[in-house]
C-alpha cells in the first residue's frame, strides 16, 4: 500500500466515522424513565464502591473537595463515624474508587456516588443504553463541593427517604419524560444546560408537579419536595448531565472517529476520551477557573477544575450554547457579547450543528456539536466550559463560578495515539515518524 | 518608486494578518484596518502538523 493511497483511505474512513458519530449524537433521544438505588441500578456497583468524577485517581492525588466528598459519602453510608475514621477507611484499600464514567454514570463537581444514593435513570431511546446521575442537592454546603458536615449528611438522608421516593412514585404516574424535547426548549428559554438551569428546573417542575400531588405521601412531604426543587435553580443539571451522557455513550468506541466522547475532571487532572481511541483516557493537570467569586473568597481559594458536568459541552450544549444564555455572564463574569463570541468560536472546532437545539439569537442556528480533536489541535482553539468553582479544602463548598478550558496536551496526546493506532494496524506507514520531531 | 507613492496617496484598505500590535498601531492613528484572526496551524507545533498531515492526505 502506498503512502498516498493509505492517506486517502484514512481521510475517507475518518469522514465516514465522524458522520456516523454525528448522526448518532443528533438522533439520541434521552428520556427520564425512573429513579433507583445506586447499588441496585448502576452496573457493577457494590456496597464498598465509591464513584467519583473524572478519570481514575488514587486517594493520595485526590484534591480537597473530592476527599471531602468521599469522607461525607462514607459517613452517609454508615461505614465511618467521622472524618478520621472515614480517612482511615479511604486509605485502607477496602474501598474501591472508580470513575462514574466507567459505570454509565456522571456526577457534578466531586461526583461522589455511594451505594445507597438514589439515582436518576435516563434511557437513550434510540440506542437503548442507560445513564445515571444522583439528584441535585442544591447550593451552599453540599457533598458535591466536598462539604460533609451534619447538615450535608442530613440532606442526603432526606433526599434518600423523602425526595427520591416521592419523585419515583410521581414518575411512575406521569410516565417517562422526554429530555431531548425539554433540552430543546431550555435552549430557547435562556439556559445552556450546564451552569444555567433555571428554565430546565422550571419546566421539570411543571411536568412533575401534577403527579407529585397524586403520590401517597403526606401533604407536608409533597410540599417540601416542590419547595426544594423550586429553591434550587440547578435541580435540572443532574438531568441534563445523564441525558448528555446517554447520548455520548452511544458513540463511544467508534473506530476511525476523531470526535471527543468524554471530557471530565477529577479535581486534579482533566481527562478526555475519543471515539476512535477506545477506552483510553488522555489526562493533563486541570486548570484554575477564571470567574467571579462569592463574597470573602478569591482565586487563591479555588480548587482546579472538577466534575463530570462538562459532558454537557462534550455533547454540544453548556458553554457551547452560551449564546442562548446571555444572562449567565452575571454569574460567571463578562458581557453578553462574550456569550455570543464563545458559541461562534466553538463552531470552529466542531463537526456539525445540532438542529434540535436552536439558538434564537443566532437566527435559530443549531448548537456546535461534536468536538473534533483534529480541529482543536489545528486551530489551537480549546473547548469553552462553563462551570462552578469549588474551594480547594475539604468541607468548605462552592466559592464561585466561571469559565475554563481543558489543557491542550489532552488533545495532542489523543491525536498522537489515534495516529499510532492506525500505524499499528498498517493503515498508515511509520515513515517520517513525528516522534522524531521536536517542537 | 512612483508606484509605491501612488499607492500611499490612495485611500488604503488594510487587512492585518499576524501580530495584532500592527493592527492596534494603525487603529490608534485612526486608519481604517481590519485584523484577521489567524494563527499558524497547530500553533506552529511541527510534531502536531506532521500528525495532522498524515490524516489529511
Nearest residue on chain A to B55, alpha-carbon basis: A11
Task: Compute the distance between CA of residue A149 and CA of residue A155 in angstroms, rounded to an integer.
Answer: 10
Chain-chain contact of A377 with B51 (C-beta, under 8 angstroms)? yes
Question: Which candidate, A284, A305, A285, places its Cα nearest to that of A387?
Answer: A305
CB A110 within 8 A of CB A65: yes
Chain-chain contact of A10 with B47 (C-beta, under 8 angstroms)? no
Q: What is the pLDDT of residue B12?
A: 82
- Alpha helices, H only, A175-310: 179-187, 198-212, 219-230, 237-249
Task: Compute the distance between CA of residue A390 and CA of residue A65 in angstroms, rounded to an integer.
Answer: 7
**Helix/strand/coil (H/E/C) assignment for every residue in A206-230:** HHHHHHHCCCCCCHHHHHHHHHHHH
Alpha-carbon torsion angle A217, A218, A222, A228, nearest 10: -110
What's the rounded mean pLDDT across residues A132-153? 93
Q: What is the pLDDT of residue B1?
A: 58
Q: Classify each residue of B6-40 as buried b or exposed e, where b means 16 or more C-beta atoms within 10 Å of its C-beta.
A: eeeeeeeeeebeeeeeebeebbeeeeebebeeeee
The sign of the CA dihedral A422, A424, A425, A430 is positive
What's the rounded mean pLDDT across residues A125-145? 95
Q: Give the pairing of strands A96-99 and B33-36.
A: unpaired
Question: Which candidate, A117, A134, A111, places its Cα nearest to that of A55?
Answer: A111
Of A7, A14, A434, the CB nearest to B50: A434
Chain-chain contact of B51 with A438 (C-beta, under 8 angstroms)? no
Task: Compute the distance between CA of residue A141 and CA of residue A154 in angstroms, rounded to an integer.
Answer: 12
CB A138 within 8 A of CB A232: yes
State pLDDT tens for residues A28-41: 999 999 999 999 99
Task: Compute the distance between CA of residue A331 and CA of residue A386 in angstroms, rounded to an integer.
Answer: 10
Of A3, A11, A434, the CB nearest to B51: A434
CB A214 within 8 A of CB A197: no
Task: Compute the distance between CA of residue A402 and CA of residue A400 in angstroms, rounded to an integer.
Answer: 7
Half-sphere exposure of A361 (CA within 13 A, CB side): 19
CB A360 within 8 A of CB A190: no
C-alpha cell at A15: 469522514
- Max CA separation in chain A (angstroms): 74
CA–centroid distance for A59 within its chain: 21
CA distance A370 to chain B (A): 18
Q: How confident is the model at residue B7 (pLDDT cuts 50, 70, 90)?
A: confident
Task: Compute the distance between CA of residue A301 and CA of residue A395 in angstroms, rounded to an integer.
Answer: 13
Domain boundaries, chain A: 3-25+250-436
Of B41, B43, B55, the CB nearest to A419: B55
What's the rounded mean pLDDT across residues A131-140? 94
State pLDDT tens for residues A376-385: 999 999 999 9
Q: Check: CATH 3.90.1700.10 for A3-25+250-436?
A: yes
Of B46, B48, B56, the CB nearest to A412: B48
Q: Give the pairing of strands A96-99 and A49-52.
A: parallel
When scoring B43, B49, B52, B55 by the number of chain A Cβ atoms within 10 A, the one with the most, hence best to mutate, is B55
Per-residue CA distances from A365 to A25, A95, A280, A315 (Å): 17, 47, 33, 16
Residues in chain B with CB shorter than 8 Å from the CB of A4 are: 57
CA distance B49 to chain A (A): 7
Q: Which residues on adjacent β-strands are paired with residue A178?
A: A31
Nearest residue on chain A to B39, alpha-carbon basis: A379
Domain boundaries, chain B: 2-56
State pLDDT tens for residues B16-57: 998 889 999 999 999 899 999 888 999 999 999 999 999 987
What is the SS3 assignment for A414?
A: helix
Chain-chain contact of B55 with A8 (C-beta, under 8 angstroms)? no
Q: What is the pLDDT of residue A431?
A: 66
**Whether pLDDT at A6 is above 80:** no
Q: What is the pLDDT of residue A9?
A: 87
**Whether pLDDT at A157 is above 70:** yes
Question: Which candidate, A140, A167, A317, places its Cα nearest to that of A234?
Answer: A140
Residues in chain A with CB shorter than 8 Å from the CB of B57 are: 3-4, 7-8, 11
**Whether pLDDT at A106 is above 50:** yes
Nearest residue on chain A to B57, alpha-carbon basis: A7
Q: How confident is the model at residue A1 (pLDDT cuts 50, 70, 90)?
A: very low
Q: How confident is the model at residue A397 (pLDDT cuts 50, 70, 90)?
A: confident
Chain-chain contact of A377 with B42 (C-beta, under 8 angstroms)? yes
Q: What is the pLDDT of residue A129?
A: 98
Q: What is the pLDDT of residue B2?
A: 76
What's the rounded mean pLDDT across residues A307-333? 95
Task: Compute the distance between CA of residue B42 and CA of residue B23 in angstroms, rounded to an integer.
Answer: 23
What is the SS3 assignment for A86?
A: helix
State pLDDT tens for residues A335-372: 999 999 999 999 999 999 999 999 999 999 999 999 99
Q: What is the pLDDT of residue A161?
A: 98
**Whether pLDDT at A429 is above 90:** no
Q: How confident is the model at residue A438 (pLDDT cuts 50, 70, 90)?
A: very low
- How does the average pLDDT of chain A come out, rounded? 95
Q: What is the pLDDT of residue A3?
A: 46
Residues in chain B with CB shorter than 8 Å from the CB of A410 are: none
Q: Which residues on adjacent β-strands are paired with residue A134?
A: A119
Count of Cβ atoms closer than 10 Å to residue A102 Cβ: 13
Q: What is the pLDDT of residue A139?
A: 84
Count of Cβ atoms closer than 10 Å to residue A364 Cβ: 10
Question: Which candidate, B57, B46, B3, B13, places its Cα nearest to that of A13?
Answer: B57
Q: How confident is the model at residue A398 (pLDDT cuts 50, 70, 90)?
A: confident
**Whether pLDDT at A4 is above 50:** no
Residues in chain B with CB shorter than 8 Å from the CB of A380 are: 39, 42-43
CA distance A285 to chain B (A): 20
The sign of the CA dihedral A79, A83, A88, A90 is positive
Task: Compute the distance between CA of residue A232 and CA of residue A242 in angstroms, rounded to an integer.
Answer: 18
Q: What is the pLDDT of residue A433?
A: 52
Query: Which of the pair, A395 or A61, is modelled with greater confidence?
Result: A61
Which chain B residues touch A if contact means CB-CB below 8 Å? 39, 41-43, 45-48, 50-52, 54-57
Q: What is the pLDDT of residue A141?
A: 86
Chain-chain contact of A437 with B39 (C-beta, under 8 angstroms)? no
CB A146 within 8 A of CB A76: no
Q: What ipTM goes with this model? A: 0.90
Amino acid at each position: 500500500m502506498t503512502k498516498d493511497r493509505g492517506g486517502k483511505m484514512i481521510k475517507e474512513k475518518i469522514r465516514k466515522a465522524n458522520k456516523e458519530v454525528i448522526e448518532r449524537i443528533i438522533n439520541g433521544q434521552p428520556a427520564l424513565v425512573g429513579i433507583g438505588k445506586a447499588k441496585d441500578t448502576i452496573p457493577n456497583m457494590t456496597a464498598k464502591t465509591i464513584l467519583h468524577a473524572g478519570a481514575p485517581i488514587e486517594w493520595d492525588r485526590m484534591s480537597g473537595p473530592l476527599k471531602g466528598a468521599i469522607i461525607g459519602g462514607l459517613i452517609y453510608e454508615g461505614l465511618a463515624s467521622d472524618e478520621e475514621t472515614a480517612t482511615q477507611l479511604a486509605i485502607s484499600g477496602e474501598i474501591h474508587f472508580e470513575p462514574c464514567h466507567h459505570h454509565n454514570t456522571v456526577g457534578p463537581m466531586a461526583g461522589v456516588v455511594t451505594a445507597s444514593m438514589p439515582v436518576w435513570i435516563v434511557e437513550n431511546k434510540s440506542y437503548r443504553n442507560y445513564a445515571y446521575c444522583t439528584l441535585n442537592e442544591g447550593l451552599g454546603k453540599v457533598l458535591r463541593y466536598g462539604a460533609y458536615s451534619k447538615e450535608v449528611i442530613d440532606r442526603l438522608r432526606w433526599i434518600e427517604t423523602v425526595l427520591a421516593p416521592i419523585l419515583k412514585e410521581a414518575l411512575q404516574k406521569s410516565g417517562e419524560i422526554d429530555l431531548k424535547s425539554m433540552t430543546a426548549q431550555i435552549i430557547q428559554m435562556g439556559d445552556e444546560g450546564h451552569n444555567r438551569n433555571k428554565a430546565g428546573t422550571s419546566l421539570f417542575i411543571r411536568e412533575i408537579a401534577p403527579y407529585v400531588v397524586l403520590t401517597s405521601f403526606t401533604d407536608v412531604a409533597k410540599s417540601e419536595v416542590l419547595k426544594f426543587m423550586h429553591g434550587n435553580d440547578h435541580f435540572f443539571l443532574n438531568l441534563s448531565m445523564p441525558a448528555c451522557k446517554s447520548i455520548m455513550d452511544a458513540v463511544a468506541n467508534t473506530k476511525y472517529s476523531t470526535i471527543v466522547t468524554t471530557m471530565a475532571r477529577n479535581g486534579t487532572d482533566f481527562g478526555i476520551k475519543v471515539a476512535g481511541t477506545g477506552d483510553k483516557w488522555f489526562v493533563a493537570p486541570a486548570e484554575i477557573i477564571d470567574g467571579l467569586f462569592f463574597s470573602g473568597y478569591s482565586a487563591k481559594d479555588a480548587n482546579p477544575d472538577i466534575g463530570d458536568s462538562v459532558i454537557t459541552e462534550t455533547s454540544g450544549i453548556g458553554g457551547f450554547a452560551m449564546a442562548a444564555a446571555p444572562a449567565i455572564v452575571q454569574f460567571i463574569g463578562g458581557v453578553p457579547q462574550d456569550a455570543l463570541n464563545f458559541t461562534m468560536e466553538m463552531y470552529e472546532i466542531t463537526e456539525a450543528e445540532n438542529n434540535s437545539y436552536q439558538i434564537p439569537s443566532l437566527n435559530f442556528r443549531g448548537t456546535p456539536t461534536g468536538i473534533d480533536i483534529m480541529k482543536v489541535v489545528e486551530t489551537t482553539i480549546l473547548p469553552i466550559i462553563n462551570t462552578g468553582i469549588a474551594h480547594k479544602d475539604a468541607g468548605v463548598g462552592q466559592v464561585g463560578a466561571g469559565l475554563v478550558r481543558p489543557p491542550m496536551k489532552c488533545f495532542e496526546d489523543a491525536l498522537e495515539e489515534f495516529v499510532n493506532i492506525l500505524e499499528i494496524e498498517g493503515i498508515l506507514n511509520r515513515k517520517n515518524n513525528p516522534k522524531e520531531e521536536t517542537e | 518608486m512612483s508606484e509605491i507613492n501612488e499607492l500611499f496617496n490612495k485611500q488604503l484598505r488594510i487587512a492585518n494578518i499576524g501580530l495584532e500590535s500592527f493592527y492596534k498601531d494603525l487603529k490608534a492613528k485612526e486608519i481604517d484596518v481590519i485584523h484577521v484572526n489567524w494563527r499558524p496551524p497547530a500553533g506552529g507545533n511541527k510534531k502536531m502538523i506532521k500528525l495532522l498531515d498524515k490524516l489529511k492526505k
